[in-house]
Amino acid sequence: MELDIQAEVLSTETVKPSSPTPSTLGTWKLSLLDQLSPPVHIPTILYYATSDADNAEKIKRMSTRLQASLSETLTHFYPLAGRIKDRSSIDCNDEGVLFSLAKININLFDFLRMPRIKSLDKFLPRVSHGVEPENATVQVAVQLNIFASGSGIAIGVYFFHKMLDAISMDAFLQCWAAIERDGDKETILQQLDFTVGSGLFPPVEAVRSAEQYLLKSHWVVKEGTVLSFIWKCAMAASGKPTKQSVLACAVNLRPRMVPPLSVYCVGNMAWQAMATSMLSDEDEREKQLSNLVCMLTAAIAKVDRDHTQGLQGVTRFRKVSSFWEEMERTYSSESLEGPVTTYVASSWCKLGFNEVDFGWGKPLWVSHSGGKFLPLVPNIILMDSGRGGDQIEAWVALGEHEMHILEHDAEFTSFATLNPSIIP
């Protein structure tokens, strides 16, 4: 029987930094890569088994502690408590972030045995997606979800993409968790750097606004093969005899810098690698996958140290202009069969989300959202599997018709389990 999941929001508070941000840090400069990031919130939800919320008093104590540790975390991540000022800066005005408390009507373990993907948005805070102007939009919003019968909790978080990529999101969560459990926060705080992004990638004042998805990722060969396989099957689901499409895959620039940057360098530090495919039904299926892997690997390889250096100096405006021109050609071009399909992809694998410990142990599962606020183009996000082992979770967003075909593709389902149980 399908679970009827309901979330009752009990309260919503504004949490501000525990110490005022000094006036000398009143303005935080966005980097060029921040400017290129879309004005959307990125969701993540962490699920924990704990008995620390099995009565009203414990729930109140947990909520109070989490708000206090969040407040202290914001003192160190002070730009996140501010608001977008203009195209090139954030006003670090300490207006704060949102913190909601919600009661869920089902048992956590019942949910994890039969997760309903479309219900995941109920575990996320209520934010105005694209309704409010950017200068009124919160950078971070949190919802603490208390599951029935004291079975566990989930922490749902939205991060505003204009300032953070997935690696910086994890750094924030790791710091918050360390403060909450009285852990070794100093190791993180000593490495935090909010200036390197705008210093290495100075903003361009005249960056054009457009909807594009410069997503953030960590790249390894296994993930590239999984992405290529999903790309191949998604192209087949499009129903076109000639599968002309583009996979725009995010590449983390931190390890490609000279010298390499720490994961605690906060901000958007990624670039899109664009792999273009033109494969027909006559191509051998095995050759298709090997071709796609080669195309994607070659595209990733182009985002090298020379590329990152080109984004830092006086050539950055020419680089950005070329990027926009390529994006415009990609999204507006058509093949003989119609518009070229573009897929965007990122990987959160091995970033550390499944290691975030607030004092209740590691999360049982880390999920994305249920798709209420879908991206404008087909999207693939890879995450570490909650089932452990060598498995990878792929969060795939396609049009309804294409998704129906993909879910019934024999080759795809021979390698993929759709919406699996997280626990036995």
At residue 141, φ and ψ (nearest 5 deg) are -135, 135
Q: Of the listed 34, 41, 76, 161, which one is catalytic?
A: 161
The answer, yes or no, to whether the previous bond of 259 is cis (omega within 30 of 0) is: yes
CA 190 to each of CA 41, 185, 194, 218: distance values in angstroms, whole numbers, following the listed order: 27, 9, 12, 23
Amino acid letter for position 279: L
Active site (annotated) includes residue 384: no
Active site (annotated) includes residue 161: yes
Distance CA 124, CA 139 (A): 14
Q: Of the listed 54, 91, 357, 409, which one is catalytic?
A: 357
Distance CA 422, CA 308 (A): 39
**Which of the residues are catalytic?**
161, 357
